[in-house]
Amino acid sequence: MVPNMLSKEELENLDSTLLSEEPIKKFGCVIVGDNFSKTFTPPLVDDPWVGQKLCGLPLIDFILISLARTPVTNVVVMSSNFPEKWKEYYSKKYYNHFWKINFVEQKTANCVGDILREVRQRNLLYMDFILIPNILTLISGDFKKEINEFEEGRVKNQNHLITCLYVPSHDSQNLFVINSENAKVVNFNNDMKAGKSKIKKNAFTENLQYCSNLKPLPLWICGKEVFDVFGENFDLTDIEDVMRHMLANEEVMCAYTCMRQVSGSSYAAEANDFIEWIGLQSKFLRSCFYPLKPIQVAVDNNTNVNLLQLYHSVYIGHDRKDLNFRSKGVTTSNSRRSYIGWVPNKSADLQLEIIDSSIAGAINLIKGSSFKY
């Protein structure tokens, strides 16, 4: 599945007059510009999470470019480490691409809950919104169907606070107990294996489903009241804490979460450790720059083939001879380093990245052939 992203050229050429009038319907998005995993630190010490790059481009650009295709109109990007020059740069760059966008630093933020509490306290955004709780996230598609369904559900019942989007998985996931009639989450557990759980009688009388094959996406659709839940409970650190809190206080809050399978045209993936980070890069390369290898027959049969003519191509080799082209500044000899090169759209400049063969080997071990799986 190729990520359905808006190209940089298209985004930069958007007619700003189309965005000059206040939209009738607004929908927000909060992007957490950090990764709060306790065992994962930025690969580069002097480069904060919000500045992490994928194939030479900051991840924040990938996310915002993708969001430009969704119904999102108001955006807040907040990080615990957001240099002032970066905030100024992105504010100017995306000023006309959303109705309102804010880039904010909150040095004391240590969890997703801290970010959302600060967004509400500063009155930066108070509307139904999409939560992207991890900067190391790639999204594709427009999520129009998912957002429309959420809004329609909210019209019928304001107690519907959260939609958890998921895809079916062949691997065992967290156990969710779901009401099959309205997709309402009745219970869920991160530690309990489905094989060890006890199915009670009410599972049959109340049409409950016990599911351990649903993989939640790292993107949540939330009602604006979620800000208030975090604001009133400082012990809540992430969105799953809110789900548990609502289940534990269901009689008082009357709020609930729904599980919805994401449409085939939309998807999101994230990384929370180094192996997942390499895997995310691998999936991106496999999908966005397909085919990974230029048509080898054409290269073998015609020595005059110029790699620069093969747009959206990626070539992975182990020495200069494999690449079939010359590039200044490429060190060779027998160092067994792997080269990944590609040509972006509307560009005549070859971009080349050199990656240690050990990392390239790790990438090859990552199973899956597309961004989605």
pLDDT at 224: 94
Place 74 in a pLDDT band, splitting at 50, 70 and 90. Answer: very high
Residues 6-17 have a mean pLDDT of 46
Reduced 3-state DSSP string for the chain:
CCCCCCCHHHHHCCCHHHHCCCCCCCCEEEEECCCCCCCCCCCCCCCCHHHCEECCEEHHHHHHHHHCCCCCCEEEEEECCCCHHHHHHHHHHCCCCCCEEEEEECCCCCCHHHHHHHHHHCCCCCCCEEEECCCCEEEECCCHHHHHHHHHHHHHCCCEEEEEEEEECCCCCCEEEEECCCCEEEEEECCCCHHHCCCCCHHHHCCEEEECCEEEEEEEEECCHHHHHHHHCCCCCCHHHHHHHHHHCHHHHCCEEEEEECCCCCEEEECCCHHHHHHHHHHHHHHHCCCCCCCHHHHHHCCCCCHHHCCCCCEEECCHHHHCCCCCCCCCCCCCCEEEEECCCCCCCCEEEEECHHHHHHHHHCCCCCCCC
pTM of the predicted model as reported, rounded to 2 decimal places:
0.73
Place 112 in a pLDDT band, splitting at 50, 70 and 90. Answer: very high
Place 292 in a pLDDT band, splitting at 50, 70 and 90. Answer: very low
pLDDT at 231: 92
The one-letter amino acid at 182:
N
pLDDT at 80: 92
Q: Which of 23-27, 197-201, 322-326, 340-344 has the highest mean pLDDT?
A: 23-27
State yes or no: pLDDT of 318 exceeds 50: no
Place 19 in a pLDDT band, splitting at 50, 70 and 90. Answer: low
State yes or no: pLDDT of 308 exceeds 60: no
Max Cα–Cα distance, the chain, nearest Å: 74
Place 298 in a pLDDT band, splitting at 50, 70 and 90. Answer: very low
Residue 232: phi and psi, rounded to 5, are -90, -10
State yes or no: pLDDT of 285 exceeds 70: no
CATH 3.90.550.10 fits 8-171+213-270, yes or no: yes
Q: Measuring CA to CA, how many Å separate 206 from each of 201, 210, 242, 251?
A: 9, 12, 24, 18
- The domain locations on the chain are 8-171+213-270, 274-365
Residues 117-125 have a mean pLDDT of 95
Q: What percent of the chain has pLDDT over 90?
A: 32
pLDDT at 207: 76
Per-residue model confidence as pLDDT tens digits over 199-253 = 565 655 667 888 888 889 999 999 999 999 999 999 999 999 999 999 999 888 8
State yes or no: pLDDT of 52 exceeds 50: yes
Residues 308-325 have a mean pLDDT of 40
pLDDT at 356: 35
pLDDT at 323: 42
pLDDT at 278: 79
**Residue-averaged pLDDT of the chain:** 73
Place 175 in a pLDDT band, splitting at 50, 70 and 90. Answer: confident
